[in-house]
Structure 1
Amino acid sequence: MPESLHIGLILPDVLGTYGDDGNALVLRQRARMRGYTAEIHRVGLGEPVPEHLDVYTIGGGEDSAQVLAAEHLISDKGLTRAAWAGRPIFAICAGLQVLGESFRAGGRVHDGVGLIDATTAAMPTRAIGEVVSNPTGAGWTAELTEQLTGFENHLGASILGREAKPLGKLVKGTGNVDNTTFLDISQSDGQIQRSSEGAVQGSVIATYMHGPALARNPQLADLLLAKAMGKTLAELEPLDIPAVTRLRAERLA
C-alpha cells in the first residue's frame, strides 16, 4: 500500500489572498505522482491546528488578516507544537511575518508566533516584481542546489536575528528588506540583511516568493515532501514535468 501524506493548509480564509493555497496543491500532486496517497486538511480561523500533520503551508494576506492569524496561532499553539516536533512548515510573505517575533500592521506593532527570529517593520515603498535568489543551504535546506524564483509583493522589512538564516542570497529583487532600511547600522550587517531572501529556522522555511512558490520551485517542493516523509531529497523518485521546466526557464530568463 502507498504511504499517506497529510498536508495542513493553515488559515486559507484569512491568509489566502495571493494564490498561496497552490503550494498545498503542488505538494499533494507531487506526492500522488509518486504513488503516495495525499490529502489536504484545511484549517480555518477559529479551528484548532492539528499538531500531528506531516507538513504545513501558510500563505499571505493583508494587515488585518495578519493580526487575526497571529492571535489565533498564538492562542491555539498547535502550529507551535508541530514546529517543536520538527514537522516541516512552509510560510509565505505575511506567513513569514506572522511566524516571526513581531510585525507591524495597521500602524501598530503586534506579537508574532515566535517560530522565526525575525522582526518586521515597514518599508517606505512596496516591493513588487520578480525575485531570484541562490539557496544558502542553511539548516534544513542544505540539499537545495537550484535557484529560487518567485514574485514578491510586500511592504514588510523583515530583519533576521541570530537564530534565523536566509533561505536565499538575492540575485534580483528586494527580498527581506530594501536599500534604505539599514542606514543607521554597520555596513557589513546591513549588506548581509540586504542580500537576504526568506528565512530558515528549525523546521520552518519561509519566503516572500509568491507564484505559487512551490509551482515555480519543484526542488523546494520535493525537499518539503522529503522532510515530511523522513527521507532525504535524493531518496525521492525524480519527476520529469516538461511544463514546469519551461515555466522555470521563462521566469529565470
Structure 2
Amino acid sequence: MSDTSSALRIVWIYPDLLSTYGDQGNVLVLKRRAELRGIPTETVRVLSSDPVPEQGDVYLLGGGEDRPQTLAAQRLRSDGGLKRAAEAGAAVFAVCAGYQIVGESFGDDDDNPLPGVGILDVRSGRGETRAVGEIVADVDPALGAGRITGFENHQGRTAVGPSARPLSATVAGIGNGSGTEGAVQGQVLGTYLHGPALPRNPALADMLLSWRVGELAPLPPAWGERLHEERLAAALQ
C-alpha cells in the first residue's frame, strides 16, 4: 500500500466525466472486499477540475461519451499524476472510455486519432458496427481470474501492442474485436466490461487488490459469486 498511509487508497478518477454506466459500483466492491479482510481503505474522489494525487494504490476510470472522453484524456495528459502513479507501481483499472484513454491513442467521434495517457500499449479506433450486449471471456490463466462476464456498449476496436497482452479471450461478444477482450500491462488493466465489472466478477476485484496488498485470505461465497454465476448462465444460454 501507499507509503504515506496505512489504508488502501482507492482513487476514483473524474466521476463527473467518466461515470456513465454505474462505475461507482467498482469503487464500492473494491472497498468492501478489502474491508471484509480487515484491510482499511480510503476513497479519494477526483473531479476533472482537481489534480490527480500520485500516492494512490488503485486508480479507477469509468465509461463516458465521446466529448467527455476527449476532455478527460486532455486533462489527464496535462496533469500527469495518473501516469506518474502508474509508473511508480500503482494499479489502474480502466473501463470502456477509460480503457481507451489510458492507451496510446483513441478515435474521436469522427475517428480522428487522439493521444491517450500512454500507460497501456493499446490503440483504439471505431468499428463499423456497435458492440452491444452480454460478453463472456476467459482471462489469461497466468492472472488467475477465471471466466469474466459483463455488458458491452461501444463502437471501439482496440489493437493490443507488444508491451501489453490481452486480458482475456472472448467466448461471447465483441470485446477488442479480434477474439480478445481488454488488455493488461504490468498493473494497468483495461476492459470494455460494464455491469459494473467488479460486482459481476469478484475474482477480478480480488486480483486488483492482490496487486497492492499481496496474497488475500479467501472469502466465503456470497452475493457477488451468485451474481457472477447467474450472469454467465444468462449470457451463454
Return 5+ residue gaps in structure 2 as ranges: 1-5
How far apart are 1:46 and its partner, in Å?
Answer: 2.0
Counterpart residue type for residue 85 of structure 1: A
Which of 109, 124, 128 aligns to 1:124? It is: 128
Q: Which residue of 2 aligns with 1:13?
A: 16
Which of 225, 230, 234 aligns to 1:250? It is: 230
5 Å matches for 1:73-84?
A: 73-84=76-87
Q: Which residue of 2 aligns with 1:40?
A: 43
Counterpart residue type for residue 126 of structure 1: R
Is the 8 Å Cα contact of residues 201 and 225 (structure 2) preserved in structure 1?
Answer: no
Counterpart residue type for residue 51 of structure 1: E
5 Å matches for 1:142-153?
A: 142-153=142-153
Q: Which residue of 2 aligns with 1:238?
A: 218
5 Å matches for 1:182-193?
A: none
Q: Which residue of 1 aligns with 2:72?
A: 69
3-state SS of the aligned residue for 1:66?
helix
Counterpart residue type for residue 211 of structure 1: G
How far apart are 1:56 and its partner, in Å?
Answer: 0.8
Return 5+ residue gaps in structure 1 as ranges: 178-193
Which of 213, 221, 226 aligns to 2:205? It is: 221
Once the two structures are superposed, residues 13-32 of structure 1 have per-residue CA deviations (whole angstroms, 9 ceiling, x without a partner) of 10001111211111111111
- Residues in 2 aligned to 1:21 and 1:165: alpha-carbon distance in whole angstroms: 26
Counterpart residue type for residue 217 of structure 1: N
| Alignment RMSD (CA, Å) | 1.1
Counterpart residue type for residue 29 of structure 1: R
Which of 189, 209, 222 aligns to 1:205? It is: 189
- Residues in 2 aligned to 1:11 and 1:133: alpha-carbon distance in whole angstroms: 28
Q: Which residue of 1 aligns with 2:164?
A: 164
3-state SS of the aligned residue for 1:34?
coil
3-state SS of the aligned residue for 2:42?
strand
- Residues in 2 aligned to 1:21 and 1:243: alpha-carbon distance in whole angstroms: 18
How many residues are matched?
Answer: 227
Deviation beyond 4 Å, 4+ runs, structure 1: none
- Residues in 1 aligned to 2:7 and 2:43: alpha-carbon distance in whole angstroms: 11
3-state SS of the aligned residue for 2:159?
strand
Counterpart residue type for residue 89 of structure 2: G
TM-score (normalizing by structure 2): 0.92
**Structure 1 residues 59, 36: CA separation in 2 closer, same or farther (over 3 Å shift)?**
same
- Residues in 2 aligned to 1:17 and 1:219: alpha-carbon distance in whole angstroms: 23
Stretch of structure 1 that moved more, 99-108 or 54-63: 99-108
TM-score (normalizing by structure 1): 0.87
How far apart are 1:116 and its partner, in Å?
Answer: 1.3
- Residues in 2 aligned to 1:195 and 1:124: alpha-carbon distance in whole angstroms: 16
3-state SS of the aligned residue for 1:120?
strand
Q: Which residue of 1 aligns with 2:114?
A: 110
Once the two structures are superposed, residues 5-55 of structure 1 have per-residue CA deviations (whole angstroms, 9 ceiling, x without a partner) of 110000111000111121111111111111122121000102111111111
Once the two structures are superposed, residues 175-218 of structure 1 have per-residue CA deviations (whole angstroms, 9 ceiling, x without a partner) of 112xxxxxxxxxxxxxxxx1110000121011000011111111
